[in-house]
Amino acid sequence: MNQPPAWPSPLPTFKLFDPAQIEPAVRRALDQNRAELAALLARDPRSWDELVVPIERMHHRLARIWSPVSHLNSVLNGPELRAAYQACLPLLTTYHTELAQNDELCAAYGRLLESEGPALAASQRKLLENALRDFRLAGVALPEDRKRRFREAMERLALAQAKFDENVLDATQAFTQTVDDRNRLAGLPATTVERARKAAEAAGTAGWKLVLDAPTYQAVLAHAEDESLRREFYTAWVTRASDSGPHAGRWDNAALIDEILALRHELAVLVGFANYAEYSLATKMARDPAAVLDFLRHLAAVSRPAAQRELAALEAFAGRPLAAWDVAFYAERLKRERLEVAEEALRPYFPLPRALEGLFAVVARLYGLEVVERSDVEVYHPDVRFFAVQDRAGRPRAGFFLDLYARAGKRGGAWMDECVGRMRLGADSALPVAYLVCNFSPPQGSRPSLLTHHEVVTLFHEFGHGLHHMLTRVDYPSVAGINGVPWDAVELPSQFMENFAWRAEVLPLISAHVETGAPLPAELLARLQATRTFHAGMQTARQLEFSLFDFRLHAEYQPGQPSRVAAVLAEVRDEVAVVRAPEFNRFPQSFQHVFSGGYAAGYYSYKWAEVLSADAFSAFEANGVFDAPTARRFEHPILEQGGGRDAMEAFVEFRGRPPEIEPLLRQMGLAA
């Protein structure tokens, strides 16, 4: 076979990567951008090509420098790289704040939209509208004194959120439980017990030392037969950073929560919103607070009766009323008994090479694209592979680095990130390239990595994000791929792809027993599919409790009033929860998604995107899982146009109507 022509588009050169050069390179790039921006604005640019194209070029150039730094910091972490990465973060924050508060630039964008708006392409208009919205959200139009106050409040908020995180981390690490009696560990998975033994050894003590990280906590709650051990772990977990539990008062986040809520409210009001919930929705697909609350309450009304039935059945199975620390344990037993399927036992059916081959076959059937490995592209670690995504004529449309195995220095979890964004600006162009990262166990000798079905679903999920990035046809980096896609719509393509990994049509493509080559037998498949809806009511009730608490807290905030955190939580629990939380539960004090992460007045996004993805997939259920015309109708507005158009309009173009909730209820087994 002929050697394919060299990869036709820019890629990072990892072999030239030197941590000592990072900070100087970032400083040079920022200085260059600042100088170019000043010179540009001095020329009073009036047209798209004079104004937006040079700024998009600057964004692309900076992203090309920063993307490999941030990626390698996540997957090949070491002290030098980490120091360089952390030294650059404040430089970038300052730069982005300057840009967002640059009123000259804002005015120039405003003039351009006004003068050329109707003549521009949809993605161009969307870019300008997003930019003007973000200028407003950054307080660009405020008088100088209030602009200063906005910046101060932002900085104070960043510090308060960082302190919130530190308190949770310190409180989490402060708790350990050393067990001398092996019997107390009965039921725990061997890997958890082994980790605990090693931790005790490292601490120079006998027995088993259990820590409070998420995997250990979940393993104890789901598997420990000793009820007192489950209760101790539950208590430690739900009282972290609070005035209750084993370290009561030591790292209490209560005052920080009130300060964070007050600052968010002040920021929102400064830039013209009634509250932070409205501020949050300004960048989201959901149109207003009522739409979010109606959505959550509708879902609550449907799922709560199911959740109550599930809990009653679980208590009948256990033979007694269940406390909060009993539910996961008995649910696990019930699931094993009723469904007779264990995640671990299915691994031999999912060798990684087979799962990948099947995933690529699905993409080929849906979109007519071929995924081809390229050995001529330089990678940053021997485990990493590079693939081209090609059209029918063999032309590369995009590429991705695939980094699948756990190793030291690599962050946990799975994610997709931008390596190179698609760009076509004048004579310059770049094909989109993604990083797809997982943490599967590596092959052992000649035996390939064997995945759980859950891991196969993860692979499909991340590849869905990857397709959103790689199949974009938008030319301008700010709205190409997942850039500019609202937070509550960005999980649509990823959750959509998960559906394929559950289908009888797809399972023979992704499974082949490692010894016999046989696909997953039909009766195992049926039992596996049943796990998808197991306790869907209780799981939904929990997600709704978090979502409603988060959203109401931000929407109903009243400055100068006593804290309503506990009161709102109690009201929400009365409305939706079925498992009663004990009095000592202080869950808000460690709710990092909302108080220190990016989900403030946005936790509902998880469920919102599930509605979109289930509804999108229902079109394939109706027309055939591999129906190419349906795939084409999905690909065009959603995957190709991404952030370049309004998310609701794009969905309506694909589905012919606004999103409906019924397909999700069907998928979860909650439909009437």
* Residue 120: other Cβ atoms inside 10 A: 16
| Smallest gap from residue 292 Cβ to Zn ion (A) | 20
Question: CB-wise, 236 or 638, nearer to Zn ion?
Answer: 638
Question: CB-wise, 439 or 494, nearer to Zn ion?
Answer: 494
The Cα angle at residue 607 between residues 67 and 263, in degrees rounded to 5 = 65
Q: Per-residue DSSP letters for 474-532?
A: --SGGGSTTTT--TTTTTHHHHHHHGGGG-TTTHHHH---TTT-PPPPHHHHHHHHHHT
Question: CB-wise, 108 or 489, nearer to Zn ion?
Answer: 489
CA–CA dist 218, 328 (Å, integer): 9
For residue 447, give the DSSP letter: B
Question: CB-wise, 112 or 437, nearer to Zn ion?
Answer: 437
Could you tell me which stretch among 119-127, 284-292, 312-320, 493-501 binds Zn ion (CB under 5 A)?
A: 493-501
CA–CA dist 171, 242 (Å, integer): 9
**Helix/strand/coil for 440:** strand
Question: CB-wise, 90 or 412, nearer to Zn ion?
Answer: 412
- Angle between the 48-75 and 103-116 helix axes, to the nearest 10 degrees? 120
Segment (H or E) for 386: strand 385-390
Question: CB-wise, 192 or 495, nearer to Zn ion?
Answer: 495
Q: Which residue is nearest to Zn ion (CB)?
A: 494
Binding-residue total with Zn ion (CB under 5 A): 1
* Annotated active-site residue in 310, 418, 462, 498: 462
Greatest Cα pair distance in the chain: 78
| Smallest gap from residue 412 Cβ to Zn ion (A) | 15
367-396 positions binding Zn ion, by CB under 5 A? none
**Helix/strand/coil for 405:** strand
| Smallest gap from residue 416 Cβ to Zn ion (A) | 7
CA–CA dist 291, 304 (Å, integer): 20
CA–CA dist 563, 589 (Å, integer): 13
The Cα angle at residue 69 between residues 67 and 73, in degrees rounded to 5 = 120
310 assigned to active site: no
* Residue 349: other Cβ atoms inside 10 A: 27
| Smallest gap from residue 494 Cβ to Zn ion (A) | 4
| Smallest gap from residue 439 Cβ to Zn ion (A) | 15
Question: CB-wise, 177 or 494, nearer to Zn ion?
Answer: 494
Q: Yes or no: say if 520 and 507 are a contact pair by the CB < 8 Å rule.
A: yes
Question: CB-wise, 303 or 494, nearer to Zn ion?
Answer: 494
Minimal CA–CA distance to 252: which of 244, 242, 261, 260?
242
Could you tell me which stretch among 253-261, 489-497, 505-513, 608-616 binds Zn ion (CB under 5 A)?
A: 489-497
| Smallest gap from residue 287 Cβ to Zn ion (A) | 23
Q: Per-residue DSSP letters for 591-626?
A: -HHHHTSS-TTTTTHHHHHHHHHHHHHHHHHHH-TT
| Smallest gap from residue 465 Cβ to Zn ion (A) | 6
| Smallest gap from residue 614 Cβ to Zn ion (A) | 15
| Smallest gap from residue 596 Cβ to Zn ion (A) | 19
Q: Using the rule CB under 5 A, is 458 a contact of Zn ion?
A: no
- Chain-centroid distance, C-alpha 293: 22
Minimal CA–CA distance to 651: which of 439, 408, 489, 474?
489
Q: Using the rule CB under 5 A, is 499 a contact of Zn ion?
A: no
CA–CA distance from 322 to each of 318, 329, 379 (Å)?
Answer: 8, 10, 52
Minimal CA–CA distance to 456: which of 499, 399, 487?
499
Binding mask 292-311 for Zn ion (x = CB under 5 A): --------------------
Beta bridge partners of 102: none
Q: Which amino acid is at 205?
A: T
Question: CB-wise, 192 or 494, nearer to Zn ion?
Answer: 494
Q: Using the rule CB under 5 A, is 494 a contact of Zn ion?
A: yes
Q: What is the end-to-end Cα distance of the chain in Å, rounded?
A: 57
CA–CA dist 534, 527 (Å, integer): 11
Question: CB-wise, 494 or 641, nearer to Zn ion?
Answer: 494
Could you tell me which stretch among 50-58, 135-143, 356-364, 487-495 binds Zn ion (CB under 5 A)?
A: 487-495
| Smallest gap from residue 598 Cβ to Zn ion (A) | 13
Question: CB-wise, 208 or 463, nearer to Zn ion?
Answer: 463
How is residue 202 written in tokens?
Answer: 């490292």
| Smallest gap from residue 436 Cβ to Zn ion (A) | 12
Q: Yes or no: say if 240 and 248 are a contact pair by the CB < 8 Å rule.
A: no
Could you tell me which stretch among 16-24, 127-135, 142-150, 492-500 binds Zn ion (CB under 5 A)?
A: 492-500
Strand order, beta sheet including 370-373: 370-373, 385-390, 396-405, 433-440, 415-420
How is residue 1 written in tokens?
Answer: 């076979």
Could you tell me which stretch among 315-323, 342-350, 486-494, 567-575 binds Zn ion (CB under 5 A)?
A: 486-494
Give the catalytic positions in this structure: 462
Residue numbers at the binding site for Zn ion (CB under 5 A): 494
